[in-house]
């Protein structure tokens, strides 16, 4: 087990999603190894640290996982090693770790042997009471091979030796609180379930044609990648399963729906529709809302590529100020770029983003989706000024992030959140903008206009509770 030292994603001051999950069940033989590869490749934006695939044909059960991008972990040989001629069920996972522990043995799917046979679990999100449950089980004699929340879930399922797999999983859902979306496979069934508030997304799809295979995934793009169409979202608190009898549903513990607002602000791909709200459209509305809330006299609207694109188009439309491509983004920038010194680390932003001639002599409205630490924002503003921008008006399509997320988003530690320790005016000064405005919470709600939203990182109201322990920084589970 290697404690690796992958640097954080380069030149990037964004919240990071924990994971993407994917599962398939096919009544007829399909190349599920290959399809699962496509599915998690489409979810790569949700996690770049590790990738894994498990496949079963009802008898054999293969799993491969490792640190790295999907295309790094899976070459032909390694994909072959999970391929089964009569594959029936599979799951896949891409991971971004919240706790900074890029342990190889924490890569998912997590597989284990239990009294319900061999099981594989892939999850997105966090259980806020995992630590208490885990400590209790340790006292009762359980072993934990990993520090992964998934293992707590699997232990809860295994403990109920008198229940069948669906019952035991529903029982485990009732004991673990938090924001999560999971896929679970046995040799013969695929299960998907989502937390009571639906904080983390999960959708169901089905392939047309003879196999009619079912797919469960974090976002619709993963369905499309395998030739499936979107059936519907898994509902908050719902458990669905697929076996030889088809698709079944059980409402386990539904509560008030509060899906994570950051899925629309930044995480989800702009071709995704979650809980019946389109991401691209909501981003354009965020930009329009920003333009209404915080108009400014300027010459061009420039997105921070690529995440500010939708809001910039919206801002330009509502304000009438021309949209322009003022920042070139080097498509080869990424985590493998070397940066041995501090000076070099500053170079990272410069090697990734470079102003075009569009900004020279212009008053620029710069649109980004969020500000976490503010370091990158300052460098971007600086780059624009060096390239001849006369004014830089910064507009952000999310409210200030002041609180940590306990539901699977890595927002940086609270003390690093610039908005939790600085006023907006102080941040403006810090990043060197001529003006700085964040969309209002109300404006964000209206732009998404969905079923309710989790805004905990903005306002500290946690719909699924917080860890019980006084010290919430000690989420890492230790013996």
One residue of 340, 342, 415, 470 binding a copy of itself per CB under 8 A: 340
Q: How far apart are CA 405 and CA 412, in angstroms?
A: 9
Told to check if 145 binds a copy of itself by CB under 8 A, we report yes
Told to check if 337 binds a copy of itself by CB under 8 A, we report yes
368 assigned binding-site residue: yes
* Bridge-based pairing state of the strands 363-368 and 300-303: parallel
Told to check if 245 binds a copy of itself by CB under 8 A, we report no
66 assigned binding-site residue: no
Told to check if 476 binds a copy of itself by CB under 8 A, we report no
- Closest distance to a copy of itself from the beta carbon of 266 (Å): 14
Told to check if 112 binds a copy of itself by CB under 8 A, we report yes
* Bridge-based pairing state of the strands 300-303 and 327-329: unpaired
One residue of 27, 231, 235, 329 binding a copy of itself per CB under 8 A: 329
221 assigned binding-site residue: no
Residue 154-173 contact track with a copy of itself, rule CB under 8 A, x = bound: xx--xxxx------------
For residue 149, give Cα distances in angstroms to 115, 124, 179, 233. Answer: 20, 10, 12, 24
Stretch that binds a copy of itself, among 244-252, 321-329, 392-400, 434-442 (CB under 8 A): 321-329
One residue of 171, 334, 432, 451 binding a copy of itself per CB under 8 A: 334
369 assigned binding-site residue: yes
**Closest to a copy of itself by CB, 52 or 463:** 52
How would DSSP label each residue in 362-407? -EEEEEES--SSSHHHHHHHHHHHHTT-SEEEEEESS----S--SS
307 assigned binding-site residue: yes
Stretch that binds a copy of itself, among 109-117, 257-265, 408-416, 441-449 (CB under 8 A): 109-117
- Closest distance to a copy of itself from the beta carbon of 408 (Å): 21
- Closest distance to a copy of itself from the beta carbon of 75 (Å): 7
Stretch that binds a copy of itself, among 189-197, 344-352, 364-372, 403-411 (CB under 8 A): 344-352
Cα 168–174–179 angle (5° rounding)?
115
Residue in 19, 202, 298, 384 annotated catalytic? 19
Told to check if 331 binds a copy of itself by CB under 8 A, we report yes
Told to check if 127 binds a copy of itself by CB under 8 A, we report no
Size of site (CB under 8 A) for a copy of itself: 88
Nearest CA among 255, 310, 264 for reference residue 287: 310
Give the SS3 label for residue 36.
Answer: helix
One residue of 85, 100, 143, 342 binding a copy of itself per CB under 8 A: 143
- Name the DSSP letter for residue 199: -
Told to check if 273 binds a copy of itself by CB under 8 A, we report yes
Residue 173: CA count within 13 A, CB half-sphere: 32
Q: Which of residues 277-296 bind a copy of itself (CB under 8 A)?
A: 278, 280-281
Q: Which of residues 60-79 bind a copy of itself (CB under 8 A)?
A: 62-65, 69-72, 74-76, 78-79
Q: How far apart are CA 358 and CA 302, in angstroms?
A: 9
Told to check if 330 binds a copy of itself by CB under 8 A, we report yes
Residue 182 among the catalytic residues: no
Q: How far apart are CA 188 and CA 87, in angstroms?
A: 10
Give the SS3 label for residue 427.
Answer: helix
Tell me if 209 sits within 8 A of 200, measured CB to CB. Answer: no
| 129: CB partners within 8 A, 6+ apart | 176, 177, 178, 465, 467, 468
Residues in a beta bridge with 184: 121, 191
Give the SS3 label for residue 166.
Answer: helix
- Closest distance to a copy of itself from the beta carbon of 419 (Å): 27
Told to check if 114 binds a copy of itself by CB under 8 A, we report yes
Lay out the sheet containing 435-438: strands in order across: 300-303, 363-368, 391-396, 435-438
Residue length of the chain: 479
Q: Which of residues 358-397 bind a copy of itself (CB under 8 A)?
A: 358
Dihedral of alpha carbons 441, 443, 444, 448, sign = positive
One residue of 100, 141, 320, 470 binding a copy of itself per CB under 8 A: 141
**Which residues does the annotation mark as catalytic?**
19
Known binding positions for Mg(2+): 307, 368-369
């Amino acid at each position: 087990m290697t404690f690796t030292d992958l640097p954080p994603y380069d030149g990037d001051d964004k919240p990071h999603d924990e994971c993407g999950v994917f599962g398939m069940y096919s009544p007829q033989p399909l190349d599920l190894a290959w399809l699962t590869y496509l599915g998690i490749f489409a979810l790569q934006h949700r996690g770049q640290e590790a990738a894994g695939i498990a496949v079963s044909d009802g008898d054999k059960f293969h799993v491969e996982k490792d640190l790295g991008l999907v295309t790094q972990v899976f070459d032909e040989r390694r994909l072959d090693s999970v391929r089964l001629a009569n594959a029936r069920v599979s799951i896949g996972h891409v991971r971004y770790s919240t706790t900074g522990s890029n342990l190889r043995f924490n890569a998912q799917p997590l597989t284990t042997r239990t009294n319900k046979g061999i099981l594989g679990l892939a999850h997105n999100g966090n259980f806020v009471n995992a630590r208490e449950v885990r400590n209790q089980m340790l006292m009762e004699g359980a072993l934990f091979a990993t520090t992964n929340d998934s293992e707590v879930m699997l232990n809860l399922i295994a403990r109920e030796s008198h229940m069948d797999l669906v019952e035991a999983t529903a029982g485990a859902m009732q004991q673990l609180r938090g924001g999560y979306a999971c896929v679970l496979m046995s040799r013969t069934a695929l299960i998907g379930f989502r937390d009571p508030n639906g904080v983390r997304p999960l959708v169901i799809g089905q392939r047309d044609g003879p196999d009619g295979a079912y797919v469960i995934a974090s976002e619709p793009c993963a369905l499309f990648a395998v030739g499936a169409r979107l059936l519907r979202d898994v509902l908050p608190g719902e458990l669905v399963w697929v076996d030889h009898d088809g698709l079944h549903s059980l409402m386990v513990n539904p509560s008030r729906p509060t899906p994570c607002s950051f899925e629309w602000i930044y995480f989800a791909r702009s071709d995704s529709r979650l809980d019946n709200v389109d991401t691209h459209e909501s981003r354009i509305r965020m930009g329009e809302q920003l333009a209404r809330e915080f108009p400014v006299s300027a010459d061009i609207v420039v997105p921070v590529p690529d995440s500010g694109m939708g809001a910039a188009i919206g801002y330009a439309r509502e304000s009438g100020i021309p949209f322009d491509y003022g920042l070139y983004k080097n498509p080869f920038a990424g985590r493998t770029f070397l940066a041995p010194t501090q000076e070099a680390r500053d170079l990272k932003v410069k090697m990734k983003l470079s102003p075009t001639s569009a900004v020279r002599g212009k008053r620029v409205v710069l649109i980004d989706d969020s500000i976490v630490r503010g370091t990158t924002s300052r460098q971007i503003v600086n780059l624009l000024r060096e390239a001849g921008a006369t004014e830089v008006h910064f507009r952000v399509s999310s409210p200030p992030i002041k609180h940590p997320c306990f539901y699977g988003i890595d927002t940086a530690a609270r003390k690093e959140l610039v908005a939790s320790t600085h006023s907006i005016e102080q941040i403006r000064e810090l990043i060197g903008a001529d003006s700085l405005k964040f969309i209002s919470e109300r404006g964000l709600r209206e732009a998404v206009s969905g079923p309710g939203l989790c805004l905990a990182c903005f306002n500290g109201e946690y719909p699924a509770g917080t860890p019980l322990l006084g010290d919430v920084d000690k989420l890492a589970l230790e013996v």
